Amino acid sequence: MAMNYKEEDGNPHSGVGPGLAAKSKKPDNTAFKQQRLPAWQPILTAGTVLPAFFVIGIIFIPIGIGIFVTSNNIREFEIDYTGIDSNSDCHRCVNISWNKSCNCTMNFTLETAFESNVFMYYGLSNFYQNHRRYVKSRDDSQLNGDKNSLTNPSKECDPYRTSDNKPIAPCGAIANSMFNDTLRLYRITDGVEEPIQLTKKGIAWWTDKNVKFKNPVGNSSDLSYIFKDTTKPINWQIPVYELSSDPDNNGFINEDFIVWMRTAALPTFRKLYGLIEKTDSSQVALKPGNYSLLINYNYPVLSFDGRKRMILSTISWMGGKNPFLGIAYMTVGSICFFLGVVLLIIHTKYGNRNNSADIPN
């Protein structure tokens, strides 16, 4: 006599013979699958919520004040040199092209001393390094010293992949638009200009300098020979192997180049240009007084309504000048403390009334 075996949901189960138990889709009878695990369901009460608000306020406000004061103690001086005044001998600089340049001198005065090491930055405004096509326009294998990519760059570099039937090194839009103004700082004492030493090494991230960027290895240590089958980027005035006279800071491992290749997230940004180190622990890095900035003006920005700046800044344990973090801590702490006071008043005024209403007569 034939028998039909069905599962609990009423659907016939194929392939089950006489004497065999029907398979079930019911979950196993375990604490996890049957959701019988112990759980903690906190009940928010005034006794747990109010202390949390006050603790956050008491902790965050002093931290915010400390960070804000530390940020304000950082010395910073900024010069916008986008358009040179028409009365200056350098007024022609505002209309330069990629292939032209001029030297301009701007005088300024520091009212207060910069006691610790001073970081010199260049700043650009209205420059969108975060554009998707711009960010992708590079060949990381080429920058890492791969020989095949040196002579056969990635197609991501188009239209800055080849020039005059030669591969471009370094290729891509990021490298092609590298900032190339030259900035030199002088201290003026009794009418005499004394040059200030600017350190150009140690300004890039260690991982970039030692891991991501490498020069190709060849039969010769001469970079001009290694790059002989390539050509410079279209907007560059010199090839990549002439970026520096220091062999440890030349080619793809040039730190000015490496700093530029780390793209900025916002259209207004600053990048480290050099470091002014203290030569004597008993002296300040930059004394108050008169200074001059010699600018070799190469980089055009007026075509996209951009601005160029030179910034001198010290740093603290928290980095450069940035009051936002301190303000954020103080704001959150103040809001929490204020809400704690308001909730405490409400609980004091209405909490006992609610508790007495729950007690039956």
Per residue of the chain (361 residues), what is the pLDDT tens digit? 444 444 444 454 455 555 556 677 888 889 888 888 888 888 888 888 899 999 999 999 999 999 999 988 888 999 998 875 433 444 444 444 444 567 888 899 999 989 889 999 999 999 999 999 999 999 999 999 999 999 999 999 999 999 989 999 999 999 999 999 999 999 999 889 999 999 999 999 999 999 999 999 877 788 999 999 999 999 999 999 999 999 999 999 999 999 999 999 999 999 999 999 887 777 888 999 999 999 998 898 988 899 999 999 998 887 788 889 999 999 999 999 999 999 999 988 887 665 555 555 5
Alpha helices in 40-172 (DSSP H): 46-72, 132-136, 140-143, 147-151
Q: How high is the pLDDT of residue 101?
A: 61
Alpha helices in 280-323 (DSSP H): none
User: For residue 231, which of 142, 152, 164 has the smallest C-alpha distance?
Assistant: 164
Q: Biggest alpha carbon distance in the chain?
A: 120
153-156-161 Cα angle (round to 5): 45
Rounded to two decimals, what is the model's pTM?
A: 0.75
Count the alpha carbons within 13 Å of 313 in the hemisphere toward its beta carbon: 22
Q: How high is the pLDDT of residue 354?
A: 57
Q: How high is the pLDDT of residue 3?
A: 47
Q: How high is the pLDDT of residue 291?
A: 94
Contact by Cβ (8 Å): 342, 102? no
Q: Which residues, in sequence order, are CB contacts of 121 under 8 Å at separation 6+?
A: 270, 271, 272, 273, 309, 310, 311, 312, 313
Joined tokens for residue 304: 């996209």
DSSP conformational letter for 276: E
Q: How high is the pLDDT of residue 25?
A: 83
Report the run of H or E that residue 308 belongs to, with start and end.
strand 307-313
